[in-house]
Amino acid sequence: MSELRKDPVLDRWVIIASERGRRPSDFAAAGSEPKPATCPFCGGNEHMTPPEIYAARGNTPANGPGWEVRVVANKFPALNIEGTVERSGIGLLDRMTGVGAHEVIIETPTHEEDMAEASLEHTATVIKTFQQRTLDLRRDDRFRHIIIFRNHRAEAGASLSHPHSQLIALPIVPQIVKATLQPARLHYMRKERCIFCDLIEQELALPDRVVRVTDQFVVLSPFAAGFPFELTIYPLRHSHDFVQMDDKEMLALAEVIKDVLQRYKTVLNDPPYNMMLQTAPTTLPRPGHPEYWGTIAYDFHWSIQIIPRLTKQAGFEWGTGFFINPVSPELAAESLQVTSS
């Protein structure tokens, strides 16, 4: 029988339509994506991209071969790095200048080396690059929030099949982030505890939705998952900001991410997916807003959300804001509790 479930943080309802009986084998295998004749992200084609902003490389010259991870500006940015943040409006209609940063993190010079197959050390280098670019962009007081995301396959929004992630620095905190921060702050004000830490402790005590737990991280199938086989990775120690990780923790996170992606490959035939790093917004003082974000170090908990793109939103979802998930989180966790290859 279907049931409605409420997300304890986002205050959002979803429909778990388990009577539809969707199992891993019900989802079609993803087709292979051919390598383009010329890929601008492959090693040796550095001249085809904008100049590198950052690179993990040895003693080789910038903008040439010999790199492990390379960061360049997006050729078609959603926001532009130049300019100042200016707000204006007409009555109820608000607008502001489209200032921000939009960068591409090219994860490897090898076209076929996806994150699921890369070495742990290399994936840790990719995570270190995320950290370094976040720290650098936070020095710019125009930017309020930084989102890092990975679109795997064209069905998930990837325009190039070469392994890469993207970073966008925004001049505002997105509403979905505020919708997480505000109830987390209220929970802390009432109980002096992090709502995410409470949630993790509860899920570990009743492990129906725990896919994997290590010494440092836990992988959960969320109670009110909006999408089939959606997973969230949390650090077990309380931490509001992923840039606080040291090298040992980054290596441990690399192992967990690689393991999750291999489980998806084994169970779901390498599906398209979106992976989002959800971390705290910039905590620079906001003029006129001393409440932003004074308790965030205590009440927020960073995470990585991974959503396989196995279903599509239609009229009901767009018209109501409800998601319909045909796979119960408990079945998803059970199916993914397999030995990865």
Amino acid identity, residue 168?
I
Q: What is the dihedral of CA 232, 237, 243, 248, to 10 degrees?
A: -100
Q: Which of 289, 308, 13 is closest to 173 using CA atoms? A: 289
Helices and strands of the chain, counted as H and E runs: 7, 15
**Active-site residue identified among 102, 122, 152, 164:** 164
| Edge-to-edge strand list for the sheet holding 101-106 | 52-57, 67-73, 101-106, 164-170, 145-152, 273-278, 303-308, 231-235, 217-220, 210-213
Q: How far is CA 170 from CA 71, 148, 224, in A?
A: 18, 11, 28
User: How does strand 323-325 pair with strand 13-16?
Assistant: parallel
Q: Which of 95, 78, 228 is closest to 168 using CA atoms? A: 78
Render 23-53 in DSSP notation, one character per residue.
Answer: -GGGSPPPPP-PPPSS-TTSTT-GGGSPPEE
Render 216-233 in DSSP notation, one character per residue.
Answer: SEEEE--TT-SSTT-EEE
Question: What is the helix (H) or strand (E) element at residue 16, kind and residue range?
Answer: strand 13-16
CB 234 within 8 A of CB 125: no
| 164 belongs to the catalytic site | yes
d(CA 34, CA 140): 39
Sort 167 into a burial class: Cβ within 10 Å, 0-12 / 13-18 / 19+: buried
Token couple for 322: 């409800």
Sort 111 into a burial class: Cβ within 10 Å, 0-12 / 13-18 / 19+: middle
Positions marked active-site: 164
